[in-house]
Amino acid sequence: MPGVRRSRAGPILVVLTLALAGCGREPQLVDRQFLAFGTLVDVSVFTRSPERAHRAIDQVREALQRWHETWHPWRGEGLARINRRLAAGRPAELSPEIRDMLVSATRYHRLSGGRFDPALAGLVRLWGFNGDEDPPSRPPADAALRDWLAERGSVADLTLREDRVTPAGTGVQLDLGGFAKGYALDRAVAMFQAAGVENAIINAGGDLRVMGQRGGRAWRVGIRGPRGGGVFAAVEAADGEAVFTSGDYERFFEWRGRRYHHILDPETGRPARGLRSVTVITNAGGLADAAATALFVAGREWPAAARDLGLDQVMAVTDDGTVEVTPAMAGRIRFVDARPDRVEEVSWQ
């Protein structure tokens, strides 16, 4: 009825105009939390349009939860289907997303001298770090590890042509866990951009990406301390930056007084040694995540590995508790409680 329409048009127009104009409201912080990627994701948006922010966060939450399922190496019909084909020595069709991830992951494999390898699903499973379940209670048998090392393949053994991947044998299955979170946060940032969200921080259990600012000031973010000791340092993160940390405290078990954790050295087939944690700041989540894993594997040789990956903002905590920083990182990091006993700037040219 025309009468009814007329009486509604006024309020609807007003609401629309206010929403489009940002309605002159004071910007406010919208903060939401949800579970995805096996961790608590915290999203903060600084905005004049909380409705828009909530809608965009709903989209991001749905996507992150879906990706986590689709990228599971053994469960479901996404990456798991591809892995079943590869295990049978047969070619597999890739979705555009997984293809894109494989292309990036192959580049990080090369740039990291093979330390980052997204083809370690079999090894990760041998160690029992493959699921969302509790970690195992003891290392695999030496014989099983020897067999794995003898048959060992890498992502470089896969041939990618258009959207089809072909294995050389049966030993290579994909585990994108070393950089899936970073890649996912990059995609989430793109979703926010498309939705008109400009100032936000998406923090997945301490690994995060930053967009814009918070009311004209940089977002201040915490860096996780080694051995899960809470926030240990803080940094003001600029628009577009990603801050990622890999550590030996995320998933581990102890056996006969030794710690066995989930970041594996493809060279030895065993948990990497030398560092407790590595934090990387750069301008893309996928690179930051893959690099944090790769530098953790590099151990005390991390500075050379960082240069090869084109990074200059890195902090590593070594086995004996020394905090090693690149000059670019030293210039911006603030320790939250007491300054650690030993902080050393590594030489850099």
Residue numbers at the binding site for Mg ion (CB under 5 A): 178, 246, 289, 292-293
Task: Render 117-141 in DSSP notation, one character per residue.
Answer: -TTBHHHHHHHT-SSSS---SSPPP
Residue 24, SS3?
helix
Residue 16, SS3?
helix
CB 177, min distance to ligand ADP, A: 3
Q: What phi and psi, each to the nearest 5 degrees, are found at residue 152? A: -50, 130
Name the residue nearer to Mg ion (CB basis): 117 or 324. 117
The footprint of ligand ADP (CB under 6 A) covers 115-118, 120, 124, 129, 175, 177-178, 181, 207, 246, 250, 262-264, 266, 289, 292-293, 297
Name the residue nearer to ligand ADP (CB basis): 45 or 309. 309
Strands (E), 14-53: 28-36, 39-47
CB 158, min distance to ligand ADP, A: 14
Query: Which residue's beta carbon is nearest to the bound ligand ADP?
Result: 178
Side chain identity at 9, as an amino acid letter? Answer: A
* 98 interacts with, out of Mg ion, ligand ADP, none, CB within 5 to 8 A per kind: none
* 232 interacts with, out of ligand ADP, Mg ion, none, CB within 5 to 8 A per kind: none
CB 22, min distance to ligand ADP, A: 36
DSSP classification of residue 153: -
Name the residue nearer to ligand ADP (CB basis): 45 or 261. 261
Residue in the structure block whose two tokens are 């902090």? 315
Name the residue nearer to ligand ADP (CB basis): 133 or 162. 133
Q: In 218-326, which residue ranges form alpha helices assigned H by DSSP?
A: 285-298, 302-308
Distance CA(104)–CA(110), nearest Å, equals 10
CB 296, min distance to Mg ion, A: 8
CB 293, min distance to ligand ADP, A: 4
Q: Which residues of 287-319 are buried (b: 16+ CB within 10 A; e: fewer)?
A: bbbbbbbbbbbbbeebbebbebbebebbbbbbe
* 325 interacts with, out of Mg ion, ligand ADP, none, CB within 5 to 8 A per kind: none
* 68 interacts with, out of Mg ion, ligand ADP, none, CB within 5 to 8 A per kind: none
